[in-house]
Amino acid sequence: MYPLTGTCAEIAEKKLSLANCIEIALNNSTSPKKAEYNMKLRGADVLRNYGSFLPRLSVSAGYSPYTLNRTYSVPYPYTTAQIFKTTQKSVNLTLTTSLNLFNGFRDYASLQASLNKEHSAEYTLARALESVVYDVTQSYYQVLLNQEILDISRENLLAIQDQLILTDRQFKVGLKSLTDLYQQQADVEQSRLSVNKAETRLYGSMFELVRRLRIDPQTKLSLVQDIKEMKMPASKPDIDSLVAIALERRYDLKSRSLEKNAAKWELTGSRASWYPSLDLNANISTGGVEYLRQEYSYPSLSEQLGHAIGYSVALSLNWSLFDGFQTHYAVQAAKINLINQQLDYDDLKKDIVIDIHQAAEEYASAFIQIETAKVSFTAARSAYEAIKRKYELGAASFVEISTARATLFNAQSNLSQATYNLALQKSVLDFSTGNIAIP
């Protein structure tokens, strides 16, 4: 296989099979990584919603090392107000907890929605991995097909060049005309152009494979042609059976179904504001003050903290009677989201059925193409050999040999395309039914 760049530095060649390419792509592709990160985020959201059922707990503390207060007072036995200055330091501690007893089932609905979204993210990740395998398989076989077409084009060019040498010798001894020589030379240049186009297609398909592998573009690759090891199912697969399998296996359909279920729970949660909420609150606090200039005995801060502990327990009921239609809007938005999720699910289900019908028909057609291409190639090769012998003896014209050669080239190319097309259609069929194995 040709290197991907024209650099002069020697680059070690990597020989890869389809399994190797899939393994590399699964490790390097970004779409599965993004899906995995999204799944982790969904898991964190589930934990957050579980926490909604637990009591809230907070603690606060304050310490003031120095406070100066000046106040007027009329101490006995004076009759005129005197100003007094007080300096002190203080400490306070507060522990607060609250537990929601009822909020219109908002917390329960949010938990169920997050659980459905977490499972949906898992299926999305699985489908992303399948997409990577599918894309790499398609690109892999496209490279092999373009490589084989390039090899056929080169063989054809060599054959035409040999024919040109023979024609030139026959022209020199008077067996061929100058027109035949010119036509043969033009045929060589046309074949050389075909080789150039085949090389360009090969380079393009190789770059597409490297794009999917996410490796260094300067890597020199050599692919293992293991297409003959593939096991092909019957030429006419049972469409009803494939549809049933796809509707059961397709991870994207499962993901869409879970997203729809999550939308139902979100609709339930959006209605929670129409109901009252009930909370249980508890509080424990203590504090103390120590006067820096005290004229009478006062307990120490540690003693005050131990004896000044206070408690409170309360039930809090809140009910929003009118919120400016905010809840109405939230409910309508949740309803529309649910409808859209249902539409997306139905569309995907229909698309799966259509894709399977198309893939099954194209797969069956690929079998027929191979049989036809084999017969056509055998006939074209026999015809070319016969006309070639006649042309060498001067019993056939240049038009006849050129036509026979073009027919043989096309038949050989069609056979290669039909062979790889069957492998490609097998991959399409597996992807449509969700039957792709993830290493």
DSSP sequence for 245-265:
HHHHH-HHHHHHHHHHHHHHH
* Kind plus residue range of the DSSP H or E element containing 100: strand 82-102
**3-state SS assignment for residue 221:** strand
C-alpha count within 13 angstroms, C-beta hemisphere, residue 439: 13
Cβ(357)–Cβ(239) below 8 Å: yes
Domain 13-54+103-276+322-433 has CATH 1.20.1600.10: yes
- For the entire predicted model, the pTM comes to 0.82
- Residue 84: the pLDDT is 75
In angstroms, the CA 384 to CA 401 distance is 7
- Residue 8: the pLDDT is 44
**3-state SS assignment for residue 326:** helix
How many C-beta neighbours within 10 Å does residue 65 have? Answer: 9
Could you tell me the two tokens for 130? 């399948």
- Residue 110: the pLDDT is 96
From 419, 365, 418, select the one nearest 226 (Cα to Cα).
Answer: 419
In angstroms, the CA 98 to CA 357 distance is 58
Query: For the chain, how big is the Rg over CA atoms in Å?
Result: 41
* Length of the chain (residues): 439
Angle between helices 106-172 and 18-28 (to 10 degrees): 140
Burial annotation 245-277 (CB, 10 A radius, 16+ → b, else e): bbbeebbbbbbbbbbbbbbbbbbbbbbbbeeeb
- Residue 227: the pLDDT is 62
- Residue 6: the pLDDT is 45
How many C-beta neighbours within 10 Å does residue 193 have? Answer: 12
Could you tell me the two tokens for 30? 């970004």
Bond preceding residue 77 cis, omega within 30 of 0: yes
Concatenated DSSP letters of 119-181 = HHHHHHHHHHHHHHHHHHHHHHHHHHHHHHHHHHHHHHHHHHHHHHHHHHHHHHTTSS-HHHH
**Look-up: residue for tokens 């390039």?**
150
Cβ(181)–Cβ(132) below 8 Å: no
Q: Please, is 294 exposed, middle or buried when counting C-beta atoms within 10 Å of its C-beta (0-12, 13-18, 19+)?
A: exposed
- pLDDT in 10s for each residue of the chain, 439 residues: 544 444 444 556 788 999 999 999 999 999 999 999 999 999 999 999 999 999 999 999 999 988 888 887 777 776 777 777 778 888 999 999 999 999 999 999 999 999 999 999 999 999 999 999 999 999 999 999 898 889 888 888 888 888 788 778 878 887 777 887 888 788 889 889 989 999 999 999 999 999 999 998 888 888 887 665 555 665 678 899 999 999 999 999 999 999 999 999 999 999 999 999 999 999 999 998 887 766 557 788 888 888 889 999 999 999 999 989 999 999 999 999 999 999 999 999 999 999 999 999 999 888 888 888 888 888 988 888 888 888 777 777 767 877 888 888 888 888 888 888 888 888 999 999 998 888 7
- Residue 5: the pLDDT is 45
